[in-house]
Chains A and B, each alone.
Chain A
Amino acid sequence: MSLDLASVSKVYGEGSRHPVHAVRTMDLAVGDGEIIALLGSSGCGKTSTLRMIAGFETVSSGAIHLAGRRIDDLPPAERRVAMAFEGYALYPPLTIAENIGFALRGDRSQAANAPAQVREIAELLEIGPILSRRPAGLSGGQQQRASLARALIRSADLHLLDEPMGQLEPQLRAVLRGRVKARIKERGYTAVLVTHDQGEANAMADRIAVMEAGELQQYGTPAELRDRPANLFVATFFGEPPMNTLPGIVTEGGYDALGADGAVALEIGLTVPHRLAAGRRVVLGLRPHRLHLGRGDYRGVIVSNQWLGDQAHVAIEAAGKMLIGIHPERLAERVGETVGFGFDSGDLHVFDAENGVALAHGGVA
């Protein structure tokens, strides 16, 4: 069901001399059947947001609606939200099967075939063999999967999943992420994931809300965050390895990237003129995956050339800076050799040097 946060704020110590604004006037709309991720580092406000949606924390101002119903003044149990949480622990005296089945207890229509449903979700999450065991003595990854099974077995207006797969064994990660995503989509669940791991957000979410310092920085599809980051924070936070950035200046015909000494290090011409005033200070950005190696108008010296099995990560020194490029095949050039490089001006990002706001994507404002 659809979820809507309207101007939601959370202030701790309101009225005290040093109130802490954990979340500032956040607007967030999640469509019915959509999976979104709240992504940010610790202290960004994502957990406070989650706790307000769950009902573990009051809303300082603003309103939360779920399925058209205002829920921010309801107790947690009446919000029709299924949760998998760190610290929302499994019941120690119950077996894993009982823990998972417990979620169906209030639901007569589902209770009849509960054992079959428990078995099915347990197999999906590869915890079939531990169903008769109790939580104590299981690995963190197994407990996390049991907790996820307990949330996914039942239908609810919203599924709220806090770092749901952070402890997943790497060998299982790709397969289980795929299965869980397919399950959520099949059932038409609406899900909010909270995570500090952009890999998890990128893998699972239709849209990602990037938070920092209590503020929503950008809310968009992974492709939008990658290709049209709203500001320098999002640009360098989202994407691995991070975006290459260079100080620059706007020229009549394009941009100049400046070296460490302030001299022009790269001249970047554009075929379509931009509308920025010449002389303006900017930061130029280019994603490593969009830096072409072995061809192009520029020259750099290779400082590192690492083959990672399915791609090469190459560091070059150019414009007095180290730039990273990803090459789909092995690159023959060795460390110390000069290599040509380039990029499509369509892949260039331009940010205001003062406040980091994106001025142009594709170089043309």
Chain B
Amino acid sequence: MNALDVSALSVSYGANEVLRDVALDVRPSERVVLFGPSGSGKTVMLRAIAGLEPGAIGRIVLAGRDVSLEPPEARRLGMAFQNFALYPHMPARENIASPLRAQKLGAGAIEAKVRAVAELLKIDHVLDHFPRQLSNGQKQRTALARALVGEPKLILFDDPLRNVDAKLRYEMRIELPRLLARRETAAIYVTQDFREAMAIGDRVAVLIGGAIVQFAPADVVYDRPATLAIARLFGDPPMNLIPARGEAHGAGVRVHAAGLAFGFDAKPPEEPVFGIRPEAVTLSAGKAPGRVAAQVVAVTPMNERYLVLLRTDDGTELVASHDAPPPGADLWIGVEPGRGALFDAATGLGVASSSSAEEIAA
């Protein structure tokens, strides 16, 4: 039985349709990331699942139970929002226990549950501290404990690490999936950061303009983005997207971009765009078939990788990403076999993915 099944969910504010006929399923213990630009409807979707959008139309089934008409408190979800906000006037213990107060539990049972989750999160020694006495990491763990304490089958996270410093964010990126797995808790996790999406999500649902445009395992979204918009958003640096020319060639299409040619098993798109990930752009000092001349415009290192901005003779700019500096200023560039993608700018859709690409010498 799925932790969550959402079907035909729509939310409108007046004439403005914020969510349009959205469907989403979350399997038991699965982490689904809701990824999209700001204003795409991610938070509204979480609120609708939680029962906080009175105008929502659609069906929400939690662990087999249709809760579409139930009030928020009857849905028994865990929730954690941006910055993991805490009640400042309550010690950590009371903050963690707050979701249990509505349930008819004895003081002993509450204390036992709070202790267990605090031990799991290694904050059992600061339960009497007020939020102002906690470090940022402890605050975050306290808020997380509060989301976990009621043993919900599903927790909703609304971009909880957004304003957290880089070190903590990195720690939580590793720790959060472990904790959820140990508690066998499913989660929907909202973020705009594609690395966080890949690190945390088993599957990623990409929400753009109120509709889910792709719902697939994280690496599939990365390797085969379904639309141009996803290709622009999912990656840092994102996929290079190069306007191209295409002509029918046998049963497929031959596409010309940046002075190179590629074969795809697809009909010629109206406005072809060739996509290639920066790490799949190859750099070499020597000329060879399937390579084109390019100049290094600038090298801008990123962590321990070198991002290289290149310009080909026809003026095309593209970014390559490698773990060594480029072998000179005047280079020959190519692409790794099977890594190209083809889009149609007229429809915004992906037309053919890497698996069917066959590179042809320029």
Interface positions of A (Cβ within 8 A of B): 41, 170-171, 173-175, 177-179, 181-182, 185, 199, 202-204, 222, 226, 236, 239-242, 287, 289, 303-304, 306-310, 313, 315, 322, 324, 326, 328
Asked whether, in the complex, the Cβ of B319 is within 8 Å of the Cβ of A175, the reply is yes
Question: What separation, in Å, do the CA atoms of A330 and B211 have in the docked complex?
Answer: 32
Q: Is B18 located at the chain interface by the 8 A CB criterion? A: no
**Of A41, A203, A239, A303, which contacts B307 at CB under 8 A?**
A203
Q: Quick one: which of B195, B302, B304 has the most chain A CB within 10 A?
A: B304
Question: What separation, in Å, do the CA atoms of A310 and B232 have in the docked complex?
Answer: 16
> A143: shortest Cβ distance to chain B, in Å?
17
Q: Is B151 located at the chain interface by the 8 A CB criterion? A: no
**Of B174, B233, B303, B308, which contacts A315 at CB under 8 A?**
B174
User: B302 to chain A: which residues have CB within 8 Å?
Assistant: 174, 199, 202-203
Contacts known (A182-B309, A306-B199, A309-B219); A240 close to B300, Cβ less than 8 A:
no
**Of A179, A306, A328, which contacts B298 at CB under 8 A?**
A179
**Of A174, A199, A241, A289, which contacts B309 at CB under 8 A?**
A174
- Interface range on chain B: under 10, 10 to 19, 20 to 34, or 35 or more? 35 or more
Asked whether, in the complex, the Cβ of B300 is within 8 Å of the Cβ of A310, the reply is no
User: B160 to chain A: which residues have CB within 8 Å?
Assistant: none
Q: Is B28 located at the chain interface by the 8 A CB criterion? A: no
Asked whether, in the complex, the Cβ of B174 is within 8 Å of the Cβ of A304, the reply is yes
Question: What separation, in Å, do the CA atoms of A12 and B287 have in the docked complex?
Answer: 61
User: B128 to chain A: which residues have CB within 8 Å?
Assistant: none
Asked whether, in the complex, the Cβ of A241 is within 8 Å of the Cβ of B170, the reply is yes
Asked whether, in the complex, the Cβ of A178 is within 8 Å of the Cβ of B174, the reply is no
Asked whether, in the complex, the Cβ of A242 is within 8 Å of the Cβ of B167, the reply is yes
Q: Is B35 located at the chain interface by the 8 A CB criterion? A: no
Nearest CB to that of B181 among chain A residues?
A335
> A36: shortest Cβ distance to chain B, in Å?
15
Contacts known (A173-B236, A174-B309, A178-B297); A303 close to B178, Cβ less than 8 A:
yes
> B110: shortest Cβ distance to chain A, in Å?
30
Asked whether, in the complex, the Cβ of A308 is within 8 Å of the Cβ of B232, the reply is no
8 A Cβ contacts from B231-262 to A: 232-233, 235-238
Q: Is B301 located at the chain interface by the 8 A CB criterion? A: yes
What would 18 more interface pairs be, CB under 8 Å, given A171-B233, A173-B237, A304-B177? A170-B236, A171-B238, A175-B309, A179-B298, A182-B298, A199-B302, A203-B300, A222-B301, A226-B304, A236-B167, A289-B303, A304-B174, A306-B174, A306-B198, A308-B198, A309-B222, A309-B235, A313-B174
Asked whether, in the complex, the Cβ of A178 is within 8 Å of the Cβ of B300, the reply is yes
Question: What separation, in Å, do the CA atoms of A181 and B177 have in the docked complex?
Answer: 38
Asked whether, in the complex, the Cβ of A174 is within 8 Å of the Cβ of B167, the reply is no
Q: Is B321 located at the chain interface by the 8 A CB criterion? A: yes
Q: Is B277 located at the chain interface by the 8 A CB criterion? A: yes
**Of A41, A171, A174, A242, which contacts B170 at CB under 8 A?**
A242
Asked whether, in the complex, the Cβ of A240 is within 8 Å of the Cβ of B298, the reply is no
Q: Is B270 located at the chain interface by the 8 A CB criterion? A: no
Question: What separation, in Å, do the CA atoms of A197 and B310 have in the docked complex?
Answer: 24
**Of A171, A204, A306, which contacts B232 at CB under 8 A?**
A171
Asked whether, in the complex, the Cβ of A304 is within 8 Å of the Cβ of B178, the reply is yes
Question: What separation, in Å, do the CA atoms of A346 and B94 have in the docked complex?
Answer: 50
User: A181 to chain B: which residues have CB within 8 Å?
Assistant: 298, 300
Asked whether, in the complex, the Cβ of B237 is within 8 Å of the Cβ of A202, the reply is no
Contacts known (A173-B237, A203-B302, A242-B170); A307 close to B219, Cβ less than 8 A:
yes
Question: What separation, in Å, do the CA atoms of A178 and B307 have in the docked complex?
Answer: 9
Q: Quick one: which of A41, A170, A204 has the most chain B CB within 10 A?
A: A170
Q: List 6 A-B contacts (CB under 8 A).
A: A171-B232, A175-B309, A199-B302, A240-B166, A306-B199, A313-B199
Q: Is B271 located at the chain interface by the 8 A CB criterion? A: no
8 A Cβ contacts from B283-341 to A: 297-304, 307-309, 317, 319, 321, 323
